[in-house]
Amino acid sequence: MDEVAALLHRRGERMTRPREAVITALAARSGHVSVEDVLRDVSRLDPRVHRASVYRTLEALSAAAIVQHVHLGHGGTVYHIREQDEDHLYVQCRDCRLIIDVPRAQLDAMGEILRRHYDFELHPTHVALSGLCGRCRARRATGPSGS
């Protein structure tokens, strides 16, 4: 928390109650937190904090590179505290919404192709890829009658 405060101060910004609450909320969950989750958790942590402050705080913390967001195909955007070695990408199951972190090394083949053939530099952490996890694939094979 002090680290975060220092980062903010370096930018001429301040550590405040709403910001503490947002950071606490993000830290409490392992990662992949939706705005909705943040709003709910923050208002539990400190009911005085207003929605608008949560939105503004997420924006400020993003600008300061303290938090990062990942767009999911469905289900909007999730936030998490940025780690120094943010070297994985996200893959999400389109059925159960499970998110899997994949080491960035795995993406290098793709990144290399994009760079070479398309002069395009991939930022693999920004958007989650979509697909089907094994469990949901099995469930679909069995048929939705199974439920």
Partner DNA sequence: ATCTTTGCAAACTTTTTGCACCAAT
Partner DNA sequence: ATTGGTGCAAAAAGTTTGCAAAGAT
- Residues of this chain that bind DNA (CB under 7 A): 5, 8-9, 12-19, 35-36, 48-53, 55-57, 59-60, 76-77
Please say which residue, 45 or 114, places its beta carbon nearer to DNA.
45
Core vs surface per residue 53-83: b (16+ CB within 10 A) or e: bbeebbebbeeeebbbbbebeeeeebbbebe
74 contacts which partner out of its own copies, DNA, none, CB within 5 to 8 A by kind?
A: its own copies
Minimum distance of its own copies from residue 54's CB (angstroms): 20
Minimum distance of DNA from residue 92's CB (angstroms): 17
Contacts of 115 (CB under 8 A, 6+ apart): 121, 122
Please say which residue, 7 or 132, places its beta carbon nearer to its own copies.
132
Please say which residue, 37 or 111, places its beta carbon nearer to DNA.
37
137 contacts which partner out of DNA, its own copies, none, CB within 5 to 8 A by kind?
A: its own copies
Of 123, 120, 34, 110, give the one whose Cα is nearest residue 79: 34
Distance of CA 109 to the CA centre of its chain: 24
15 contacts which partner out of its own copies, DNA, none, CB within 5 to 8 A by kind?
A: DNA
User: CB-hemisphere CA count at 13 Å for 67?
Assistant: 30
